[in-house]
Amino acid sequence: MLKRVKLFLLIVIGIQMTVVPFPASAQSGVVDGDEPYSGAAVCLPGVYMQQPDHCLALGPSAFLTEQARKGMPYPLRALPAVKPDPALVPPPAYYARIGLEANQPAPVYPSFDAAVSGTSPSRYIEAGPIRYVAYIDQRDVNDAHYLMLPSGEWIRASPAGYSHFQGILLRQTPRNGFGWILTESPVYSTPGFGAPQTGRVVNRENIVQIYASEEAENVNWVMIGRDEWIEDRVVGRVTPNPVPPEGVTNNRWIEVNLDEQTLAVYDQKQLVFATLITTGVEPFYTQPGLFQIYQKKQLETMQGSFEVDRSDYYYLQNVPWTMYFDQARALHGAYWRTTYGYPGSHGCVNLSPGDSHWLFDWAQEGDWVYVWDPSGRTPTDPAYYSAGGA
């Protein structure tokens, strides 16, 4: 028994003599002050806006959290949107442009034979740079187009096409902004023209989601994907805001953003439709303010001029889906335009035929139209504005 006790003591003493003691810092989980964590596991990949107690938000979690702080969700969500019915696109008439010189009145004839011979016109359409007519029949003679007007009269003019552009219907209000590309643009990996390009190019009328914005080299940039940035100026943006503007009483309103040249429709505080538009160009601005649609007309002929010499006279027959909201200013289809997203009207809000058709079907007389310019460049003094025009 004594031998066994001596043997046990020898073994214990031998073990103690062969153990090399660790520094106190290592025993506490810190080596040379570089490692502040001891025993905690790394969090599963995810977004942690606050440091969790049970794990370390490092590695993939740190990256995802950084992206989330910039507005980039995880996982990425598709825009909850669809295209409206394409059957809305064709306008309710055929249209043609009067191709004579702007300073020449356009003759209108009582019959086809008179139009071909160019004799005995029944009336004239005033000279001007923009003149379109609606027609119901066409006959060509020696490569010249002769068109029958709804009145039964005839005129020589060139049949014109129209834009097939459509905005989007939204199933719910998106959490982040989005917009349409206005002009083809390269994509950069970070904000700034000196940043490497990704090799991707976004094309006109492509829809992109917008997660963040930043200024670099005195230029505003927007983030459209992970490590994907484009100039702010090349996109017409919609920033969802389901809070009714002050004065809206029925939770239905149309927002016209003059700076972005976009239109957004809200119904019961939900964004339901959005698109590109064309509003008034300087000095014929679309007036900011809160208005109500006071008259809807399926077809309307618009004509007028603003210059004393009437050199800017326009004649637009059978303008479709017209909704007046501010004197002569209206939301309406603009079949004579091929692109949207830039100012260009005499004060009206121009939409593509398909978009104006959708809006006409949705809107009711009395619905609110909120026009604003977040840049502050559009005059707000009512004394500045005349009745307006197309």
Asked if the model's pLDDT at residue 58 lies above 70, the reply is yes
Q: Report the DSSP pairing between strands 130-135 and 314-326.
A: parallel
Query: pLDDT category, 200, cuts 50, 70, 90?
Result: very high
Q: What is the pLDDT of residues 271-293, one digit of tens each?
A: 999 999 999 999 999 999 999 99
Local confidence band at 77 (pLDDT 50, 70, 90 cut-offs): confident
Say yes or no to pLDDT of 234 above 70.
Answer: yes
Which of the residue ranges 74-83, 86-95, 322-331 would you say has the lowest mean pLDDT? 74-83
Element (H, E) at 81: strand 81-82
**Dihedral through CA 239, CA 245, CA 248, CA 249, nearest 10?**
90
**What's the pTM?**
0.83
What are the CA-CA distances from residue 21 to residues 18, 24, 388 (Å)?
10, 9, 89
Q: What is the pLDDT of residues 161-190, one digit of tens each?
A: 999 999 999 999 999 999 999 999 999 999
54 pLDDT band (50/70/90 cuts)? confident
314 contact partners, CB below 8 Å, separation of at least 6: 128, 129, 130, 131, 302, 303, 304, 305, 346, 389, 390
Every domain range in the chain assigned CATH 2.30.30 = 176-238
- CB–CB of 109/153 below 8 Å? yes
pLDDT value for 90: 97
pLDDT of residue 243: 96
- Kindly indicate the confidence band of residue 126, based on its pLDDT and cuts at 50, 70 and 90: very high
Stretch(es) of the chain classified as CATH 2.40.440.10? 252-384
Q: Which helix (H) or strand (E) holds 332?
A: strand 329-333
Q: Domain 176-238, what fold?
A: SH3 type barrels. (2.30.30)
Burial of 283 (0-12, 13-18, 19+ CB in 10 A): exposed
- The amino acid at residue 356 is S
Task: Give the pLDDT band of residue 372 (cuts 50, 70, 90).
Answer: very high
CA-to-CA dists, residue 104 to 99, 107, 124, 313, 370, angstroms: 10, 9, 10, 12, 40
The pLDDT score that the predictor gives to residue 16 is 45
Is residue 331 within 8 Å of residue 319, measured between CB atoms? no
CATH of region 252-384: 2.40.440.10
